[in-house]
Every structure is written in structure tokens, then in C-alpha cells.
Amino acid sequence: MTPSESETARPTGATDPGAIELPAPTAWPMALAFGITLIFAGLVTNISTTVVGIVVTLAAAVGWWRQVLPVPHVEHVPLRPPAERARPIAASRTPVERGSRGEGGHRLRVPVVVPPISAGVKGGIVGGVAMAVVALLYGVIGQGSLWYPVNLLSAVAIPGMAEADLAQLRAFSGAALIVGILAHGVISLLVGLLYVVILPMLPRRHMLWGGLFGPLLWTGLLWGLLGVINPVLKVRVDWGWFIASQIAFGLAAGYVVSRTHPVATPQTTAPPGSAGGRSGRR
């Protein structure tokens, strides 16, 4: 079937009894999604990315519009000969045994067991401590100051730290210490709870996913967003030590979460009279 035969504009109601009329395939929706993605990516990268996204989005919108109006592009898929088609399904009066409500394995939800929320809290605390140890080691070894990483972290909320020079970042600040501890603690707890949700849905070897792949993906995300969240940290961060601290968190939190005794998830059951009850026969 040639393109001129497969994509034709037929008047409404004109049909081919030997074929099925389907919308013609098009790549414009994918191009539209790509353009919108570039628009938002430009918000955290460069204005030129947004401009390219706008151009791609407009071109894709016009192209997709012309696929539908003024006449929709269609594709005619030929039917098999009647002798090769599947036979109609004959109705059966054989009774069907119904499963009882709450019966084991009925409408199973996956995962069946998950770590408790307390595991995420404990994992976040332990992972946060492990991450803080690595970060403080970097401060002592790389900068000669225990307070350097704390002051960098606090720059997200303290304007003075965002404009501080190297000497000020190495000096002790009580306000920066409090803000740094609070920010680090909240983020650690949230990521620990995220581990509880995500790890049961991943394949086995949770330590590999939570201890290596997860921190690397998280680091890649922060690399793109850190210029907006904490510009000072973006400029002064040592990415080798930063990745090491993320892996330390992932290994510690992942170990705590994976070693916790899981709890069963509530499995859904069918209401009376539905397909899960013994309300009748078919």
C-alpha cells in the first residue's frame, strides 16, 4: 500500500467495506512533548533552550493541527478474507464459580509487603548522620574548617551566607549551624520516607539501587537544579566529596530500610454483588 493510498481524505460517511479506517500515524505529538520539555528545561539551564522549545512546540502544534483539519489524515488497513477471520465467540451457559470476599490472592496489590514508616524515619536519621560525617570530613580535610559545609548548606536560607567570602564560610556561625541542622534533618527524613515507598517496587538488590543508583540519580538532578536552589553551593561544592556523601546516605538508609521487618499492605476486596462475591451465576 503506497502512502497516497494509505493516507487519503474521504468525505464523511465514505467507507471501504474491505478495510478499517484508522487515524494516520504521526510524530507530531512526540515533537510537541519534546518542545514543551525544552521550554521548562530552559528555566534551569539557558534561555536559548526555552527559545528552541517554543519554536519546536509551535511547529509541532501546527503540524498536528494539519493532520486533523481541514480533512483528517487516515490510514486504511485491509481486512483479512472472511475465511481467515476469527469465528464469533459462542455464548456459554456454564456456571462460573465466584471467589469469596477477602479470599487469599484475590485482587492482589503489589507490593504485598512494605517496610513500615518508622523504617524510613530511622533510615533517614542514620543516613543523615553518615552523610554529615562525610561532609564534615571534607570540611576538615579539604577546607580546614568543620563549619565550612554547614555554612554552605545554610546559604539556601541565610542571605548573608550567600554573599559570604571564603573566610566567613570557614568561620563558626550559630544561625548557620541551626539552619544547616534543620535543613539537613528535614531533607534526610523526607528521603528516608521516599526509600520506604520506592525500594519495595524495585527489583532485588535494594542496597545496589538505594546505595548507588539512587544517589547518582539524585546527584544528577541536584547538579541541574542547584544553581537555583543554592547558587553558593553550586559554585563551591566539591562534586567528588558530594557524591561520596550521597552514596554514604544511600548505603546507610538503604541498609536500615531493607533490614526492617516488613508489614503487609491492605489488599483490596470486592464489594458485595460485584465480580468478587458469590452473588450469582453466569
Question: In this predicted structure, what is the pLDDT of residue 221?
Answer: 74
Tens of pLDDT along 46-77? 888 889 989 999 999 998 888 888 888 888 87
CA dist., res. 138 & res. 246, Å (int):
13
Stated pTM of the model? 0.53
- How many domains does the structure of the chain reveal? 2
The answer to whether 73 and 9 have CB atoms below 8 angstroms apart is yes
Domain assignment present for 30: yes
| Beta partners for residue 78, in sequence order | 19
**Cis peptide preceding 70, ω within 30 of 0:** yes
Q: Are residues 126 and 241 in the same domain?
A: yes
Q: Are residues 125 and 58 in the same domain?
A: no
Domain assignment present for 172: yes
Q: Are residues 123 and 255 in the same domain?
A: yes
Q: Are residues 120 and 260 in the same domain?
A: yes
Cα–Cα nearest to 237, from 159, 124, 160, 142 = 142
Backbone angles phi, psi at 67, to 5 degrees: -70, -20
Q: Are residues 148 and 65 in the same domain?
A: no
Domain assignment present for 52: yes
Domain assignment present for 8: no
Q: Are residues 163 and 69 in the same domain?
A: no
CATH of the domain at 43: 1.10.287
Q: Are residues 126 and 238 in the same domain?
A: yes
Domain assignment present for 83: no
Tens of pLDDT along 256-265? 888 888 887 7
Domain of residue 73, residue span: 17-77
For residue 19, CA distances in Å to 82, 84, 89, 123 come to 12, 15, 22, 60
Q: Which residues of the chain have pLDDT under 70?
A: 1-17, 97-111, 162, 202-211, 226-227, 229-230, 232-233, 267-282
List, in sequence order, every beta strand (DSSP E) within the chain: 7-8, 19-23, 74-78, 113-114, 263-264
Question: In this predicted structure, what is the pLDDT of residue 59?
Answer: 92
Residue 27: DSSP 8-state: S
Grid cell for residue 257: 530500610
Q: Are residues 142 and 197 in the same domain?
A: yes
Question: In this predicted structure, what is the pLDDT of residue 21?
Answer: 80
Q: Are residues 55 and 155 in the same domain?
A: no
Q: Are residues 155 and 55 in the same domain?
A: no
Domain assignment present for 5: no
